Amino acid sequence: MIPSRAREPEAMKTTTYTARPIAPPALKELRETDDAGRPTSPFTDTEGGAPLRCCLRRSAPGERIALVSYAPLRRWAAEQGVDPGAYDEQGPVFIHAEECAGPDTDALPFTDNHRTVRRYSADGHILGGRLVEDPAAFDEAFTEAFDDPAVELVHVRAVEYGCFYYEVRRR
Ligand SMILES: [Zn+2]
């Protein structure tokens, strides 16, 4: 009975939530003008280590990147046809300055530090959140969030800075 063994990795993968990078159409716009209306100024990252929200990895020294203001909830809400009202906000994110390939792995990124998993309802209102300190506890935090039928979306964010890292959606 080989089939059940062969199926295992696939089955495990479907139980894991996926980190969503900034979508290519939004990246295209952000590379010209950011969500605060400022013209984007690319620069060469001499040090590396900037968390890139397009490829969901840290930059390597010498890569061309940009720091732009991004409004993840506003863009999600526009796609869903809902109005987040006062919950809309924007903040700084690093992206590649030019078109890039996106993430090359399904592994959950940026779990190397404690993060906030912030929950949102279908109409884009905040429904609380959870501090995640253990890299192994992210999946549990997502499962816990989506166990609440009112939760439609979560943001993984930096704790001290509050910066947006990526979005995870209800499957
Ligand atoms: Zn990239």
Annotate 117-152 with b (16+ C-beta within 10 A) or e (fewer). Answer: bbbbbeebbeeebbebeeeebbeebbeebbeeeebb
The rounded Å distance from CA 62 to ligand 1 centre is 14
The rounded Å distance from CA 81 to ligand 1 centre is 27
Confidence at residue 12, expressed as pLDDT on a 0 to 100 scale = 38
pLDDT over threshold 70, residue 57:
yes
User: Which tens digits make up the pLDDT trace of 132-143?
Assistant: 999 999 999 999
Average pLDDT over residues 115-120: 97
Q: By the 8 A CB rule, do 131 and 159 touch?
A: yes
Q: By the 8 A CB rule, do 110 and 51 touch?
A: yes
User: Which tens digits make up the pLDDT trace of 16-42?
Assistant: 799 999 999 999 999 999 999 999 999
The rounded Å distance from CA 50 to ligand 1 centre is 11
User: Which tens digits make up the pLDDT trace of 67-106?
Assistant: 999 999 999 999 999 999 999 999 999 999 999 999 999 8
The rounded Å distance from CA 4 to ligand 1 centre is 37
The rounded Å distance from CA 54 to ligand 1 centre is 4
Confidence at residue 106, expressed as pLDDT on a 0 to 100 scale = 87
The rounded Å distance from CA 11 to ligand 1 centre is 29
Decide: pTM greater than 0.95: no
Q: What percentage of the chain reaches a pLDDT higher than 90?
A: 88
Reported as a pLDDT band with limits 50, 70 and 90, residue 2 is very low
Reported as a pLDDT band with limits 50, 70 and 90, residue 114 is very high
The rounded Å distance from CA 1 to ligand 1 centre is 42
The rounded Å distance from CA 52 to ligand 1 centre is 6
Q: What is the mean pLDDT of the chain?
A: 91
The rounded Å distance from CA 58 to ligand 1 centre is 9
